[in-house]
Structure 1
Amino acid sequence: MSETSAEDRIWTVPNLLSFLRLLGVPVFLWLILGPKADGWAIALLAVAGFTDWLDGKIARAFNQTSRLGRLIDPAADKLYVFSTIVGLLLRDVIPWWLVAVILGRELFVVSFAPVLRKHGYKALQVHFLGKAAMFCLMYAFPLLFLASHTGWYADISRVAGWAFALWGTGLYWWAGLLYVVQVRQLVADAKKE
């Protein structure tokens, strides 16, 4: 199998895991906003976080990386973060300012897409800091959700959840700023040619 055809693969285990994560997004929103089945919603978030880690491990270990995987994996991550912050905001679990800071970063990064396209680039590779930020946020939200309940675990979950949320948000913005540096370098290189 040539390298080009390997990159064009669709039916891989990592892609299947990413598709399943995508299918879980509306289920999560229904669980949190409809029947308010919080236990199932938290379990679904935990499974989504685990499969996010697992699909990357499998892709690298078994040479199952693909163009589609590089597209749907971050898309699934972003949809989970977006749906989770909206659901938790509507349930009064997280404050509006956290949602504004996270969505503000997304709008900031997306605003550079026309510049990339103008110079012939589609998208940049996801930076390690972006992955670390997503990791933190994927752990923060279930913990903050647990913290909104009563029980022995609530205080522990609140402290750990806010630690992950603040670290994740900070890293998310840092990765966004690095993205801008990358875009500026690409534009400068394109102008030299």
Structure 2
Amino acid sequence: MPESTDDRAGTDDGGNLPSPSNRILTVPNALSVLRLALIPVFVWLLLVEEAYAWAFWILMFSGFSDWADGKLARLLNQYSRIGELLDPLADRLYIVIIPIAFGIEGFVPWWLIAIIIGRDVALFAMGPLLRSRGLLALPTLYIGKAATFALMSAFPWLLAGQLDSVVGTVCYPIGWAFMIWGVGLYLWSFVLYAYQTVLVLVRLPPRTASSGHIN
């Protein structure tokens, strides 16, 4: 995928990016693995058991752990190459699977789900174009991070909005406010990433077999 969405990237006191290690057993990686493991649990609770309260708390934990693993990676200096893959993988799976589950339950219209998923599919399709110029990913845009944050915030609010109570009445419009904001930022970030991809294709020559490999 051309978009690098790992929030664990940071700088040390000298302003340099810390070098990721080959460590696997780290606290941030454990949180990312737990987030991935909770995806099928969430789907089962929502679609099979219709235990909305438990599904809600899984979303809350996932959102908190998504924030915490980046902070802990910086605090504990536990950057790792596998972490750079696990964290954005968990984000993308949540962004795809949760809207589909919400669509099945009738919480979100399918046309909106198609926009969210279609944007990620279109970004993924840009990958070969970037690799043809020797790049693996585009620099992360903070508007893309803001879009992901808004969407991940919208899901628990919308789920709480299904409660037939005052809590549901309050949470429902808040959830849709985050959803509209997130989808708007999601589309705008796609436009920016597409523009960057065009610039890469125009300004960089095609990579030849003699150009070597990117480590």
Counterpart residue identity of residue 94, structure 2: Y
Distance 2:25 2:192 in 1: 32
Task: Report the RMSD for the aligned CA atoms in angstroms.
Answer: 2.0
Distance 1:66 1:185 in 2: 30
Q: Is the 8 A contact 2:133 2:206 kept in 1?
A: no
Give % identity.
42
1:158 equivalent in alignment to 2:172: yes
In the alignment, which of 90, 105, 113 is matched to residue 91 of structure 1?
A: 105
Shift of 1:120: 1.9
Q: Is the 8 A contact 2:20 2:81 kept in 1?
A: no
In the alignment, which of 84, 92, 95 is matched to residue 78 of structure 1?
A: 92
1:145 equivalent in alignment to 2:164: no
Counterpart residue identity of residue 131, structure 2: R
Stretch moving more, 11-20 or 39-48? 11-20
Q: Is the 8 A contact 2:151 2:179 kept in 1?
A: yes
State the TM-score, normalizing by the size of structure 1: 0.90
1:190 equivalent in alignment to 2:215: no
Distance 2:135 2:206 in 1: 16
What's 1:7 paired with? 21
Higher helix share: 1
1:116 equivalent in alignment to 2:141: no
Q: Which runs of 5+ in 1 are unaligned?
A: none
Aligned length: 191
Q: Which runs of 5+ in 2 are unaligned?
A: 1-16, 208-215
1:21 equivalent in alignment to 2:35: yes
Moved over 4 A (4+): 3-6
State the TM-score, normalizing by the size of structure 2: 0.82
Distance 1:6 1:69 in 2: 9
Change (3 A) 1:184 1:192: same
Counterpart residue identity of residue 42, structure 1: F
Counterpart residue identity of residue 73, structure 1: D
